[in-house]
Amino acid sequence: MRAAEHQPVLLAQIVEALAPPGTGWVVDATVGLGGHAHALLAACPDLRLLGLDLDPGALALAGVRLSEFGSRATLVQGSYWRLAEIASENGVTSSDGVLFDLGVSSLQLDTPDRGFSFRHDAPLDMRFGPDGATAADLLSALSEEELVRVLRDLGEEPRARRVARAIVRARMQRPLSTTGELRRVVHAALGATGGRIDPATRTFQALRIATNRELEGIPPALEQAARLLRPGGRLAVIAFHSLEDRLVKRALRHLSGRCVCPPGSFACSCRPERMLEILTPRPVTPDESEVAINPRSRSAKLRVARRAE
């Protein structure tokens, strides 16, 4: 995929939310192929942008796409887990805006040998970056009970026990190393239905999230972003599935000074700090025309908050 072919989700809404009135920095914590970054830099002639991504391939394509802006765009390979540290290393002490576009990218899904999709038989990798354990490593290492928790909690798979048991039986014969092998195991456990959603979808989602530890990094990264914003600066977060969106919603509530302790708690122990004002009581979603052009945008939800004055 070429960067210019990529269709960033909710593009107009992101530009409206994050385009600052004057000079300053915007941090794109998941720059991907640079679609949102390009639109922001084009809309704001004095804007400078710091873009982060774990994927060196995506960064290379983003660099080509943003080359027309010269030194106004700084790209760094790194995780949003280290947002504050990377910003400091690049001279960004405060920001007019921070963007998170969470989850797997079109480039990763459409590159067969990355192992994110079961549409092609490929090595079971699923890593956003080049380092760390692969999805195949994880499948070999997790116990049945751990697999059940991953499938249930990260994939919302209602028949997690059945799938986990099938994976354990299969790997006793030989390690599962390709997307095709895993898909066949899940189909054998659940049945290969002819429905719109493949039975292996939840398993692949769960394994991808676990491999990249996606969810656990969201709350601390959002707090780092909130602290980086100047007064009046904005934070925009796009989530693509319910697990992400629930975490984002909870984190933004906490950063807006509201308690997020479980109902019935005797006393608040979460220590909320009012740094943000939530601007989207309900998430912004793509309209019908955008979904028609880009069906992958269908599940996107955008939440926006502003740093308190």
pLDDT at residue 40, as a whole number: 96
pLDDT at residue 270, as a whole number: 86
pLDDT in tens, 217-244: 999 999 999 999 999 999 999 999 899 9
pLDDT in tens, 189-220: 998 766 678 899 999 999 999 999 999 999 99
Element at 304 (helix H, strand E): strand 301-307
Share of the chain above pLDDT 90, in %: 79
pLDDT at 4 over 80: no
DSSP string, 239-294: E-SHHHHHHHHHHHHHHBT---PPTT-SS--S---B-EEES-SS-B---HHHHHH-
pLDDT at residue 143, as a whole number: 97
pLDDT at 120 over 90: no
pLDDT at residue 105, as a whole number: 76
Q: Domains of the chain, with CATH numbers?
A: 3-103+215-307 (3.40.50.150), 120-212 (1.10.150.170)
- 230 contacts 24 by C-beta, under 8 angstroms: yes
The rounded mean pLDDT for the chain is: 92
Element at 229 (helix H, strand E): strand 229-239
pLDDT in tens, 59-85: 999 999 999 999 999 999 999 999 999
pLDDT in tens, 122-163: 999 999 888 899 999 999 999 999 999 999 999 999 999 999
pLDDT at 188 over 70: yes
pTM above 0.85, yes or no: yes
Q: What average pLDDT does this structure show over 30-53?
A: 95
Strand bridging mode 229-239 / 276-278: unpaired
pLDDT at residue 6, as a whole number: 64
Question: Using CA atoms, how far apart are residues 217 and 34, in angstroms rounded to an integer?
Answer: 22
pLDDT at 2 over 80: no
Evaluated on CA atoms 196, 199, 204, 205, the torsion sign reads positive
Q: What average pLDDT does this structure show over 86-92?
A: 97
pLDDT at residue 21, as a whole number: 67
Question: Using CA atoms, how far apart are residues 38 and 259, in angstroms rounded to an integer?
Answer: 37
DSSP, collapsed to helix, strand or coil, labels residue 4 as helix
pLDDT in tens, 261-282: 888 788 888 888 899 999 999 9
pLDDT at residue 195, as a whole number: 65
